[in-house]
Amino acid sequence: MNRTVSEEILLEELTVEEILSRWPQTARVFNHYSSSCIGCAIAPFCTISDAVTAYGLPRREFVADLQAAIEPAGDEKNNV
């Protein structure tokens, strides 16, 4: 499913802790990209945008993978 720019920006402004707390299934996305965000002491303060920059992740792909993990299970083909 195509994302709008506003949906991507909104997701990027949430902290890593907010994402993982609200959607625990996103943990597999962080693991897939080999980030150390899970359990990190700054996760409550680090936004998705910050994490993407810190790890040099491909922004659009990472955000799209997070969004796919958040979506209902009916969209299995997009899950990492």
CA distance 11 to 27: 15
CA distance 3 to 5: 7
- The encoded tokens of residue 73 equal 């299970």
Task: Quote the pTM value.
Answer: 0.77
Instruction: Quote the pLDDT of residue 78.
Output: 46
Give me the residues paired with residue 47 across strands.
15
Per-residue pLDDT band for 73 (boundaries 50, 70, 90) equals low
Using the predicted structure, report yes or no on whether residue 7 has a pLDDT greater than 60. no
Residue whose tokens read 């992740």:
57
Tell me which CATH code domain 5-73 carries: 1.10.3910.10
- The encoded tokens of residue 12 equal 């990027």
